[in-house]
Chains A and B, each alone.
Chain A
Amino acid sequence: MSKLKTLTNGFIKENPTLVLLLGTCPTLAVTTSVQNAVGMGAAATFVLVGSNILISMLKKVIPDKVRIPSYVVIIAGLVTIVQLFLQAFFPPIYKALGIFLPLIVVNCIILGRAEMFANKNSVVDSALDGVGMGIGFTLALLIMSTIREILGQGTWYGIGIVPGAIESMAIFKLAPGGFFTYGVVVAAVAALSKGRATKAKAAHCGACPSAGLCGGAEKGEC
């Protein structure tokens, strides 16, 4: 796999949110505004790159038996560092992300990439994968939040772009609006890639983050 392909894989083809359907909970929760989405995307990307690099570096040291706890400790440490930095230098984003910031620890994308990619590939490839997946996640959040903020509030990144042009629909800022938007965006991505992306990657057991732990994965019976 070429380095470029490793990087761009996460943008569309293996987009963690829209194709692999990972990290749905924070996606729905923080995409009420573009500002939050950017903050969440950046924080998750940082953690993703950091954890991918560290785990790739330690892949020979960490015994298989304590693989998952080790990953979780590393990821939790990184998340806490991000949390402290945000709290110190970007208090508004820290406040807006709220509980979803510490919950990055259990974001499936991060653990998923550690399990699926970082513990099998070189440090450089893992870093690139982390960047690519992070960008893919951020991109997905941006698309979602753009739709939700414009329709729900008539603004983009807090700037009133269509003030008064459309009646803002508060439902788009609420959970149901999040589900509507998510469904439509996922469907759009599937349609644009003619269903290949989804079928190829997400729909078989090998794509599951826990595939390694599950004996039936290779036989397709998880």
Chain B
Amino acid sequence: MKTLKELAMPTLVLTVICVVVTAALALTYQFTAPYIAAAAASAADSARIELLPEADSFTQITDENVTGIEGLVEAYQANNGAGYVFTSKAKGYGGDLFVMTGINSEGQVTKVKLMENAETPGLGSRVGEDEYTSQYVEKDSKLEGVEAVSGATISSVAFKDAVSIAFQAYGAAAGVEVEVPAEPEVDPRTEIFPGEELTSIEIEGADEAYQAGSSGIIIVVQVEGYHPGMQVITGIGADGKIAGVGMGENEETKGLGTKVGEPEFTDKFKGLGADEVNGVSAVTNATTSNDGFKRGVKKALELVTQEMLDALATAKYTQVQPGAATFEPFEAENALEAVRTDLGIVVLTQAEGYGGQITAVVGIGNDGAITGVRFLSDHSETKGIGTKALDPEYLAKYVGKNSADGVDTVSGATVTTDAVKRAITKALAIYEATKGA
């Protein structure tokens, strides 16, 4: 018996303790389980309540009309009818950018918040800052007056797109019509020679004509397509070939004749000469619009004379040395092009910027002072940042100087500014060399 007690008792006691403790745990669990579930739900809701303060709790929307919207991640409806909270995504600079949007029952934004994103820290990520997000508060679906963060255009556009998606979802969820923000009209005139300033010129036979810096000429003519009054915009480069075409105002059939104005078709014209235009394969089912468009392009090519193209070449020089009349090329080390003019010299020099080579056109007067500086538009500097150092307004500071030093650096664009200064210094060195010769 003693052995039995010695062996059995410990086992028995331990078993009893285990059973009692387990029972106590089961009771506690039963008692606390609903509270734990409520706490978990309120923790998840609190993130949404931050966006829609009037709401108490939320129910997820599973309606496919809402969840099926492209770019929508999650949709929640406030149980007290205060509104909705949507999580949506759009493609930003560094990948998908997630935005949470609270929309009240009147269809106004209560708050927006940047969630997960891979935008450049300190630049694109600034769309997450209050200064930007507070602009959305009380805006309706048109999102009028929301200004992009300067230097973070792509992130800003993505953010706005994501909010727009939230409004689409709101429309579907609440069953109301939602007005979408107006797309900014793209003017083909400014697209053909990006970055070039357009100056209106007179060309007989053209409705409108512009000189795009020294890069080319843009001619706008009106032709009859399927309907009368189709504007054809043709950009002609300094080499006499087509730099780009586009369709302006027109009455063509939407989705059919208008296809002629889409990049898929217009891109085929790039680099073509006058005799090659007929060879461009037509847009299916839009033959009449197509023929009209080609007539317009050919007409534009006829209007441009060799004289005008020659003028373009000299325009490159006169832009930085106004008033120069004679141009005589000369050989110079470190220069892409160099011409001696009656007023001094104009040289094209390059320097390594932030996004690759940038090309400067520098005019230097006979007295050694800079007469003008500009940069060719074929650079890859960061828009809104590096490009600030290539801005004519900034470059004007160099005019009259004998050296690139002493002009302020553009804050935030140190690398590009340095490249600008190096390119100018190279040009000044060439001037010094010519003086000695």
Contacts and interface: CB of A to CB of B under 8 A. Distances in A.
B17 A80 contact: no
Contacts of B21: 73-74, 76-77
A77 B32 contact: no
B25 A66 contact: no
Does more than half of chain B's interface fall in helix, strand or loop, or is it mixed? helix
A193 B10 CA distance: 43
B24 interface: yes
A69 B18 CA distance: 10
A220 interface: no
Interface string A32-67: 000000000000000000000000001001110110
B13 A66 contact: yes
Nearest to B38: A88
A62 B13 contact: yes
A89 B17 contact: no
A68 B280 CA distance: 91
Given A65-B10, A80-B25, A84-B28, A70 B39 contact: no
Interface string B1-40: 0000000011101100110011011001100100110011
B28 A74 contact: no
A171 interface: no
A161 interface: no
B13 A63 contact: yes
A103 interface: no
A99 interface: no
A58 B14 CA distance: 11
Interface residues of B, number: 19
Name the residue in A80, A84, A87, A88 with the highest tally of chain B Cβ atoms < 10 Å from its Cβ: A88
Nearest to B43: A91
A179 interface: no
A200 interface: no
A66 B14 contact: yes
B35 A88 contact: yes
Interface residues of A, number: 20
Given A84-B29, A89-B35, A77 B24 contact: yes
Contacts of B25: 77, 80-81
B35 A73 contact: no
Contacts, number: 50
B130 to A, nearest CB: 21
Contacts of B22: 77
B14 A84 contact: no
Contact of A87 (B9, B13, B18, B36): B36
B10 A91 contact: no
A180 interface: no
A73 B32 contact: no
Contacts of A89: 35, 39
Interface string B23-61: 011001100100110011001000000000000000000
A59 to B, nearest CB: 12
Nearest to A95: B43
Contacts of B29: 84
Contacts of B24: 77, 81
Contact of B17 (A70, A87, A88, A91): A70
Contacts of B13: 61-63, 66, 70
B9 A85 contact: no
A135 to B, nearest CB: 25
Nearest to A69: B14
B3 to A, nearest CB: 13
A89 B40 CA distance: 11
Contacts of B35: 88-89
A63 B32 contact: no
Contacts of A84: 28-29, 32, 36
A85 B25 CA distance: 11
Nearest to B9: A63
A62 B21 CA distance: 14
A66 B8 CA distance: 11
Nearest to A84: B32
Contacts of A81: 24-25, 28
Given A63-B9, A80-B25, A81-B25, A88 B14 contact: no
Interface in A79-106: 80-81, 84-85, 87-89, 91
A182 B21 CA distance: 35
Given A81-B28, A88-B36, 17 more contacts: A58-B17, A61-B13, A62-B17, A63-B9, A63-B10, A66-B10, A66-B14, A69-B14, A73-B17, A73-B21, A74-B21, A80-B28, A81-B24, A87-B36, A88-B32, A89-B35, A91-B39
26 contacts: A62-B13, A63-B9, A63-B13, A66-B10, A70-B17, A73-B14, A73-B17, A73-B18, A73-B21, A74-B21, A76-B21, A77-B21, A80-B25, A81-B25, A81-B28, A84-B28, A84-B29, A85-B28, A85-B32, A87-B32, A87-B39, A88-B32, A88-B39, A89-B35, A91-B39, A91-B43
Interface of A: 58, 61-63, 65-66, 69-70, 73-74, 76-77, 80-81, 84-85, 87-89, 91
4 closest residue pairs by CB, A with B: A88-B35, A77-B21, A88-B32, A66-B10
